[in-house]
A = this chain, B = another copy of it.
Amino acid sequence: MTEATPVRRAGRQLPTADELRIWRDFIETTAALGSRLESRLQSDSSLSTGDYAVLLALSEAEGQAMRSSELAAHIGWERSRLSHHLGRMERRGLIRRQECPTVPRGAEVLLTAAGAEAFGGATFPHLRAIRELFVDALTPDQLVAAGEIAAALRTRLDVLRRE
Contacts and interface: CB of A to CB of B under 8 A. Distances in A.
B156 A136 contact: yes
Contacts of A33: 27, 153, 157
Q: Taking the full assembly, how many copies of this chain does it contain?
A: 2
A25 B135 contact: no
Interface string A117-161: 000000010011011111111111011111111111111110010
Contact of A130 (B20, B32, B139, B149): B20
Interface residues of A, number: 55
Nearest to A26: B150
A134 B160 CA distance: 12
25 contacts: A1-B143, A13-B131, A14-B127, A14-B131, A19-B143, A20-B127, A22-B147, A23-B134, A25-B151, A25-B154, A26-B147, A26-B150, A27-B37, A29-B153, A30-B30, A30-B31, A132-B160, A134-B153, A136-B156, A137-B152, A137-B155, A137-B156, A139-B152, A142-B148, A142-B149
- What 7 pairs between A and B have smallest CB-CB spacing? A137-B156, A30-B30, A22-B147, A25-B150, A29-B150, A145-B145, A26-B150
Interface of A: 1, 3, 12-15, 19-23, 25-34, 36-37, 76, 124, 127-128, 130-140, 142-157, 160
